Chain A
Amino acid sequence: MRSPMAEFLDYTQFVLAPQVLNGLSLGVAVILMALGLTIIFGLLDVINMAHGEFYAIGAFLALALGALGLNFWILLALVPLLMVPLGWLTERALIQRVFHSRERHILTLLLTFGFGMILEDVLKLVFGANTQKPPMPITGGTEILGVFLPNYRLFLILFGAALILAVWVAVFRTRLGAMVRAAAYDKDMASSLGVPVRAVYSGTFAFGVALAGLSGVLLAPIYSVFPTMGRDFILMAFTVVIVGGMGSIQGAVVAGILLTQVQAISSLYISPVWTDPLVFGIMVMVLMVRPQGLFGRLGNA
């Protein structure tokens, strides 16, 4: 019989700590997805239901280009660049069509919902239905305070954190970011001050789409690639965006970490199948009590 203290330490080291760390890597993945969503919503008031499919396109692009011999580090830069024109076109051809309607929210939601359906089927048509997996770009693992973490997850956490910071700096500390925020706050005012509002809209949408594509490249080695993969993160990402506050970058980060930790830790004590209802329940509760989410939105930040 071991002492209760030893048992507690054992539990902390083998169960609790790895759970928290693994939850963190999932959290970063979810935040990466939520980031693009929340930026697009913050500026354009558009709920992009096709975001998951853009993530899948990024992953498939990485897979296809990787098969041609391009290495992971090149893809990490190339795929988001390839996603930009796709996002730009989508904004011009679809979003702008209904953008000036009073019911912009609902119409763009419906349009992107339809577009997502089509994209998923096109991916299946082009790449087939079977699961594929790109090779792991970094192998091996590291012990941190006695907890084992694969090196790639460690990289993902650090790279993700840097990326989130870079996005934050770009939005809040650059001239370009100031134009975007100005357009989000008051588009007429921004326009009269010489901000090219239309280009800012298209550019922001394309930026959000590129972020989704980048998540696809980053997450493909862990979560593998198949046409319906876009459905995986999208619910969780929406939940994170809603809880954090639609349009808020800080909100997405805080809510992303909070919710994935709730999921990770609760799955130790309740059957994991109940963690989804739990998280959605939290989302509904946040919407009831504080519909604007934990943080305010982009234009007002």
Chain B
Amino acid sequence: MTRMTTAAVTAALLLTASTAALAAEPIRVGVVTPLSGTYTPIGQQVRWGLELAAKEINAAGGVAGRPLELMFEDEEANPAVAVQKAEKLFQVGKVDFLTGTVNSGSTLAVGQVAERNDRLIATTVSFADSITADKCSPNVFRVNARAGQQSAALAEWLSKEKPKSKVFYLGPDYEMGRSTVAAFKKAATDKGSAEVGEVFAPLDNKDYSQYFGQLRASRPAVLYTSVAGNDTVRLLSQMEEYGLLKNLLVVGASGTVTSQNIGAIGKAAEGFVTGVGYSPEIDTPANKAFVKAFTAAYGKDPDLYGADSYGLLYFYKAAVEKAGATDTASVRKAMEGIQWATPQGTKTMRAGDHQAVQDMYAVRVTGGKFTIVGSVPGEAAIGPDACTKF
């Protein structure tokens, strides 16, 4: 109840405040995101990022003079629920645009719903390369960095810091995990490092100590991991327990260590380096203002999901204002190749595969804080366009 109405109330307040928006019909943005189940913490960041952006955009006069209205639905981290909720938002909620899906299965399935309903969606979370490569869709955009991009800055940093190092890979066994491991392996091997071992653990794995034997035996200098959320908390604290963090550099994909779980990981996160498209530490006025507003509103730092979801509404705003309309064909055309400002700098939406191009960072945890230790310009990180569907 509260969620649904916050946006509506904001919109209503705005209606009284701004005469320009008074007569205007709101633009509805549907959000299908996990608000219950394992991915709840991610869904929470998505929601916060979107709500903050909607509030700011509406306070500044809305999108082309029309206020934004967010409509949330819980997808329970289940694609079968996600498609049903997406249809509800498209057909009953009459949303103009949809976002929020987290796991790649949901993003792909909801993308197909968008195709069949002739609407557009964007993901702000899913990493799996396939979404903007071999399984790309003319109706799906991605504003966050995919696995391949994330690997670029990290591999670059690693090749300078520890050239020709031996790397052990530990990924979660689902598409997002396999995709990130494959992408980093390629990037790191190109830069001269060697693979000494690889393990895929089930999602929601309890005890990582059963892989520590293999890890020790292969004597790596670097561990790359792409487990996320609760799983990272367990992996890193169990590694600390076993004294494995002493002589091992641990690096990982975006989303392994975020402001959501760093508190629970504690000291074990120290020294962890991750390749990301966003960090609260990015030193620009835009980001400082965003972090301040976000923390003031929700009492937590934004992580990459919060920031990318926040940036998404500005992407949509830019596209609608460029198109001068909200219909699918015009907005799609406007989105392709558009540049827009986000907390982490200017992003460009590549027309060929609907993947956002952005600067990428290597971020290290020092004293419980994220510090930027390296970066790669967007064009160098993006990789070739592998989408052949449009």
Query: In the complex they form, do A and B come into direct contact, defined as C-beta atoms under 8 angstroms apart?
Result: yes
Q: Which residues of A are in contact with B by a Cβ distance under 8 Å?
A: 10-11, 14-16, 18-19, 22-23, 25-26, 29, 121, 124, 129-133, 135-136, 141, 148, 150, 152-153, 222-224, 226, 228, 231-233, 263-264, 267-268, 271-273, 275-276
A18 touches B238 (CB 8 A): no
B233 touches A10 (CB 8 A): no
Which B residues from 32 to 51 make CB contacts under 8 A with A? 36-38, 40-41, 44
Contacts of B118 in A (CB 8 A): none
A273 touches B44 (CB 8 A): no
Contacts of B173 in A (CB 8 A): 271-273
Contacts of B40 in A (CB 8 A): 124, 129
The 15 sampled A-B contact pairs (Cβ below 8 Å) are A15-B216, A18-B209, A130-B261, A133-B237, A141-B242, A141-B243, A153-B241, A222-B238, A223-B207, A223-B234, A224-B234, A228-B38, A233-B206, A264-B210, A267-B211
Q: A133-B264, A224-B237, A232-B204 are in contact. Are A14 and B37 (CB under 8 A)?
A: no
A19 touches B210 (CB 8 A): yes
Q: Does B201 contact A (CB under 8 A)?
A: yes
B207 touches A130 (CB 8 A): no
B214 touches A268 (CB 8 A): yes
Additional A-B contact list (6), CB under 8 Å, known A14-B217, A132-B263: A22-B213, A26-B207, A129-B41, A131-B229, A141-B241, A271-B200
The smallest beta-carbon distance between A147 and chain B, in angstroms, is 9
Give the complex CA separation of A129 and B216 in angstroms.
Answer: 34
Contacts of A263 in B (CB 8 A): 210
The smallest beta-carbon distance between B132 and chain A, in angstroms, is 26
Contacts of B260 in A (CB 8 A): 130-131
B264 touches A22 (CB 8 A): no
Q: A131-B229, A136-B241, A271-B200 are in contact. Are A10 and B209 (CB under 8 A)?
A: no
B243 touches A133 (CB 8 A): no
Q: Which residues of B are in contact with A by a Cβ distance under 8 Å?
A: 36-38, 40-41, 44, 173, 199-202, 204-207, 209-214, 216-217, 229-230, 233-234, 237-238, 241-243, 260-261, 263-266
Give the complex CA separation of A16 and B210 in angstroms.
Answer: 10
The interface residues of chain A, by DSSP majority, are classed as helix
Top 8 A-B pairs ranked by shortest CB distance? A129-B40, A22-B209, A15-B213, A150-B241, A133-B264, A18-B213, A273-B173, A14-B217
A131 touches B261 (CB 8 A): yes
Give the complex CA separation of A191 and B213 in angstroms.
Answer: 54
Contacts of B265 in A (CB 8 A): 133
Give the complex CA separation of A133 and B209 in angstroms.
Answer: 17
Contacts of B201 in A (CB 8 A): 272-273
The smallest beta-carbon distance between B376 and chain A, in angstroms, is 30
A272 contact from B41, B199, B229, Cβ within 8 A:
B199
Give the complex CA separation of A267 and B217 in angstroms.
Answer: 15
Give the complex CA separation of A59 and B53 in angstroms.
Answer: 36
Closest to A30 in B: B206
Contacts of B217 in A (CB 8 A): 10-11, 14-15
Contacts of B36 in A (CB 8 A): 121, 124
Give the complex CA separation of A105 and B234 in angstroms.
Answer: 36
Contacts of A135 in B (CB 8 A): 266
A131 touches B213 (CB 8 A): no
Give the complex CA separation of A88 and B353 in angstroms.
Answer: 60
